[in-house]
Chains A and B, each alone.
Chain A
């Protein structure tokens, strides 16, 4: 073989090897479950809880499982966010998780579409699990993507309004009559606000999109909308008027309470959302949009004022739908590379569908139970205020965010646009939303 030809052949072979090597480095998402769930085995379970009381609760929940399944041991790994989870699911390997739990329901689309989490349909069919009789519809929706079910709900979160009843009384407001529409809400928030110099002694409500849970998706559930994507799969934020209505109202609230710059400067004085110095707990704000878990934080912080809870207000022309809210929650799935998928399914099934397990865990961490039976269970222990969140969870008009192939990227894009709008940087809201919708569509097309 001539030298030049040989060199070319060597180069071609090297290139082909690199390409093959590169292809070979991809994880496989198609491992069939062949393990015996009755055999002695150890599962690795990754979750994201970090608060000591929540970590203890998940450990107790797993202990209940291992007691019922003595052949299965569970190694628990906490403080795992979705980025770490994604990397582990891609990499596979024996040290990776068999079972995972994530807080970000918006990533279900990404996990199901790519096969990062195993399809649960064969397991559900094998055990004859009737999802309609087990989970509320919204929870069924956010745990699947385009018909592919790769997760099940493990408790859920319902978002409502927390308010300082003492501050209501001092402002001459009836603490038993929280605002039900956004117009009422603006008036109440203004009454509760006490200015101090160029800042605030107390703010009625922190409306900006950086005010912890006051993000676009949580606001949006209080406006009747048809979802973030149309039937053609294209973004609906430019065509569904509810998005413009919500943003217009939110901007008016920002302006009514002092404007973005002043509010944002006040926001920088707030403590951490997950710590004792949360601005609602310190009395810096009198009302807060938050999830049901805040009740436990409030109890632990021993706040020196009476706290009321209520559903968030609704749009003025949707008063009949008062009581609805945003729903989200923790999701559970199985790593497709796991060689112990049948045993993993036993853990997922137990934690997500066993009434005793769901109720026990819900009681321990103060979340909303995720099964229909658990929602009705007499064993649920909660104070009267928690019922508000159970009602929000059961409300037929409560909604959640849609899934997408690129996870929460579409929410990031929408949130970013909304932040520009609240600052007054967007002269034409309608055009801005149309451009945002087009950008969301381009991002999704690039990720498909």
Chain B
């Protein structure tokens, strides 16, 4: 076996060079053993990576080029599914816009709010435990229950929020029933459940060396300067983590918008009734809903795989952009 890979020149070498060749063989064999050992140590990860990433990824690409309904053998379609999704499927672009809106606005709001609450709770002298619990508890609420509660609270006809707004003489939007307000309402819901980020930011903030604040204070730095030049650089990896995971979650955003749309439209399911996702006016339509709708409701796996790949491409692009520009966006960091 080993002679197969020896260059012809070496294989034909005279006997006088025997010790050198043996030495090379020994070295090569050691390297191979090292490589095998490394592979053996990596094998759990490699197997997991292969089964849970490479195989699904390759399958998704494969099926995106096929007409496949999940029951019959796939049929080659070339780029037809791609052309259909990008040019003939009218829900794709609104869903993409909504998903990007959520990535930018909802994720920013969650990060800013989570950081703000974290800062507040690490600063207050008493009652921190109570506030920490109060802000963390909503995160534990199941997404469907939380969404139902918000649709009820923000119901334009019977909800207490609008009753209060009207009593105060303020404009009362239709929230989940108004295309202009549906995504902001979802953002309010997401910000309400910001307990996870709050805890992460609190841990990061408490980890910032106190000496740095003391030194800055001695140098006359004010609160904003201390935050800008000490807090932010120290917690920038955590902010990056929050943004990247937030974007990935926003790319997978499914449960809350579909529950909100179903409840607000009154189409909760039943005797074969028609529910058009995205109520009102496609404003809550997200790409994962289209993946589900095309794949599992319409049995069109090919087109669903195209959208899944678009989601993957956007997730990768966002992550790569943030990783590259991290210093420029957030500060000089560690």
Contacts and interface: CB of A to CB of B under 8 A. Distances in A.
Contacts of A87: 296
Interface in A263-295: 264-270, 272-274, 291, 293
Given A3-B5, A293-B271, A411-B274, A210 B71 contact: no
B144 to A, nearest CB: 15
A352 interface: no
Given A18-B55, A157-B271, A415-B274, A407 B297 contact: yes
Contact of B274 (A114, A217, A446): A217
A274 B177 CA distance: 21
A272 B90 contact: no
A439 interface: yes
A213 B273 contact: yes
A43 interface: no
Interface string A97-130: 0000011111000100011100000000000000
Nearest to B292: A83
B14 interface: no
Nearest to A159: B271
Interface in A17-72: 18-19, 21-23, 26-29
A25 B161 CA distance: 50
B317 to A, nearest CB: 25
B298 interface: yes
B72 A29 contact: yes
A447 interface: yes
Given A268-B155, A270-B266, A89 B84 contact: no
Contacts of B62: 18-19, 22
Interface string B272-283: 111110000100
A21 B55 contact: yes
B174 interface: yes
A318 interface: no
B265 A18 contact: no
Given A28-B71, A90-B70, A409-B298, 16 more contacts: A23-B73, A26-B68, A102-B272, A114-B72, A116-B299, A212-B273, A265-B177, A267-B266, A268-B155, A268-B157, A273-B268, A274-B270, A291-B271, A408-B274, A442-B88, A447-B299
Contacts of B228: none
Contacts of B273: 212-213, 215
7 contacts: A18-B59, A86-B70, A265-B177, A291-B271, A406-B298, A442-B88, A446-B303
Interface residues of B, number: 48
Interface string B71-107: 1111000001100100011100000000000000000
B49 to A, nearest CB: 14
Contacts of A447: 298-300
Given A89-B71, A407-B297, A106 B156 contact: no
B334 interface: no
Contacts of A412: 274-276
A26 B72 contact: yes
B274 A215 contact: yes
A1 interface: yes
A81 interface: yes
Contacts of B59: 18, 22
Contact of B157 (A3, A106, A269, A415): A269
B73 A26 contact: yes
A252 interface: no
Interface residues on A, range: 35 or more
B222 interface: no
B157 A27 contact: no
B266 A26 contact: no
A86 B297 contact: yes
B300 A265 contact: no
Contacts of B155: 268-269
A377 interface: no
Interface string B46-63: 000000000100110011
Contacts of A409: 297-298
A266 B157 contact: yes
B269 interface: yes
A328 interface: yes
B196 interface: no
Please provide the 7 A-B residue pairs with the shortest distance between their CB atoms, ordered closest to farther: A268-B157, A269-B157, A104-B272, A90-B70, A103-B272, A446-B84, A406-B298
Given A268-B157, A268-B177, A416 B276 contact: yes
B56 to A, nearest CB: 10
A420 B278 CA distance: 13
Nearest to A15: B58
A419 interface: yes
A29 B71 contact: yes
Nearest to B57: A18
A26 B274 contact: no
B63 A22 contact: yes
Contacts of A328: 271-272
Contacts of B67: 448
B300 A406 contact: yes
A447 B269 CA distance: 24
Nearest to A331: B272
B88 A446 contact: yes
Contacts of B274: 215-217, 408, 411-412, 415
Contacts of A406: 298-300
A115 B267 contact: no
